[in-house]
Amino acid sequence: MRFNRRSRLATVAFGVAEALRRHGIQAVLSGGGCASFYTRGAYLSADLDFILSKPARRAVVDAAMASVGFSREGDRYVHSKVRFYVEFPRGPLAIGGDWQVRPARHRRAGAELLTLSPTDCCRDRLAAFYHWKDRQSLRVAVAVAARHRVRVGVIRHWSEQEGKTREFEEFVREVRKARATGKHRGRI
Amino acid sequence: MQVVSRSSPFGGPTRTRVLLAIRLLGDSYARELARLLEVPLSGAQRALRSLERDGLIAGRAMGRTRLYRLDPRYFAHRELDRYLERLVEPERDLERRAAALRRRPRRAGKPL
């Protein structure tokens, strides 16, 4: 797959995931890149964080990334024509204390991309809001929940486990507001 | 000559002691850790970078300083916190040094 300066984040994510898969590597898009994927660019992240499902040799990852034009610079992979860069943070794939995270599968033109589910993407962003008081992450979690079906019971339970019931209530209020005022109507 | 041997379950003595110091202080930065642990600044910076890569600590910019703390989003954060609490118990010298650091606020312009 060839990328250019106008390649969107989702296009790059599918291309990278497919290149990794061809080299026998399974990886899950998480973090800000995943949030950007679900908000269709309403929140734009420059980095694509892929968590490897199993350990992989650096040389194999390098080869997979080189097959789609990315080269390694330190810990990140960059492409001369793509504004996004790719990183492979250490796993496991986990949200706070919960490491039994099941990825969501997306298909496009024969390629497959694994990401966090919308629910887990919300939890991932909320973790930053809960622990770092990062209100930008709250806004992104709200944007994801306003556009997708999320399992509110799962988020509530996890929030309670993290000791963040009040912050969770603020999240619910914000999602209700976003759905009432925006085009993304629904129940939460 | 006194031989001091310390366990370093986190891959190296500096990495382990940086983690213990952050556990004691709550948050810290490379220069403070280098002073506290009496290691070169570059060694403290290297340890912080590798611990951050492993997801055990997280750093964020505060002006020109990068402030680190144990990453509360790490999947084994609670267990790590408890383990470090236990590991730091025999580290009397480190505790004494940490206790000597002035970290409370000081009104701007107040004479020493």
A47: CATH:
3.30.460.40
Tell me: do A141 and A175 sit in the same domain.
yes
* Partner residue opposite A131 with nearest CB, options B53, B72, B75: B72
Are the Cβ atoms of A131 and B73 closer than 8 angstroms? yes
- Last residue within a domain, chosen from A61, A96, A115: A115
- Chain A residues whose CB is inside 8 A of the B73 CB are 95-96, 127-128, 131
Position A148 pLDDT exceeds 70: yes
Task: Please write the tens of the pLDDT for every residue from B42-55.
Answer: 999 999 999 999 99
Asked whether the whole model's pTM tops 0.90, one would answer no
Tell me: do A69 and A161 sit in the same domain.
no
- Last residue within a domain, chosen from A62, A90, A115: A115
Q: Where residue B5 falls among pLDDT bands split at 50, 70, 90?
A: low
Tell me: do A60 and A133 sit in the same domain.
no
HEC secondary structure over chain A: CCCCCCCCHHHHHHHHHHHHHHCCCCEEEEHHHHHHHHCCCCCCCCEEEEEECCCCCHHHHHHHHHCCCCEEECCEEEECCEEEEEECCCCCCCECCECCCCCEEEEECCEEEEECCHHHHHHHHHHHHHHHCCHHHHHHHHHHHHHCCCCHHHHHHHHHHCCCHHHHHHHHHHHHHHHHHCCCCCCC
ipTM surpasses 0.85: no
Output the average pLDDT for chain A.
92
The pLDDT of residue A187 is 46
Question: Is the CB of residue A89 less than 8 Å away from at least one CB of chain B?
Answer: yes
Position A183 pLDDT exceeds 80: no
Kindly state whether residue A26 falls inside one of the protein's structural domains: yes
Question: Is the CB of residue A76 less than 8 Å away from at least one CB of chain B?
Answer: no
Kindly state whether residue A4 falls inside one of the protein's structural domains: no
Higher pLDDT pick, B31 / A96: B31
- Last residue within a domain, chosen from A74, A89, A115: A115
Per the structure, how many domains does chain A have?
2
Q: By residue range, what is the domain housing residue A162?
A: 118-180
Query: Is residue B34 within 8 Å of residue B41, measured between CB atoms?
Result: yes
The pLDDT of residue B67 is 96
Least confident of A81-95, A122-136, B2-16, B58-72: B2-16
Tell me: do A22 and A80 sit in the same domain.
yes
Tell me: do A21 and A90 sit in the same domain.
yes
CA distance A32 to A34: 5
CA distance B20 to B27: 11
Position A173 pLDDT exceeds 80: yes
Position B61 pLDDT exceeds 60: yes
CA distance B74 to B31: 24
Tell me: do A127 and A105 sit in the same domain.
no
Least confident of A79-88, A134-143, B7-16: B7-16
* C-beta pairs of A175-184 under 8 Å, 24+ apart in sequence: A175/A142, A175/A145, A175/A146, A178/A142, A178/A143, A178/A145, A178/A146, A179/A146, A182/A146, A184/A146, A184/A147
Tell me: do A39 and A79 sit in the same domain.
yes
- Chain B residues whose CB is inside 8 A of the A99 CB are 75
pLDDT cut 90: percent of chain B above it: 68
Mutate to test the interface with B, among A76, A131, A158 (most CBs of B within 10 A): A131
Tell me: do A85 and A21 sit in the same domain.
yes
The pLDDT of residue A43 is 81
Tell me: do A34 and A62 sit in the same domain.
yes
Tell me: do A86 and A126 sit in the same domain.
no
Average pLDDT (A105-124) is 96
Are the Cβ atoms of B73 and A128 closer than 8 angstroms? yes
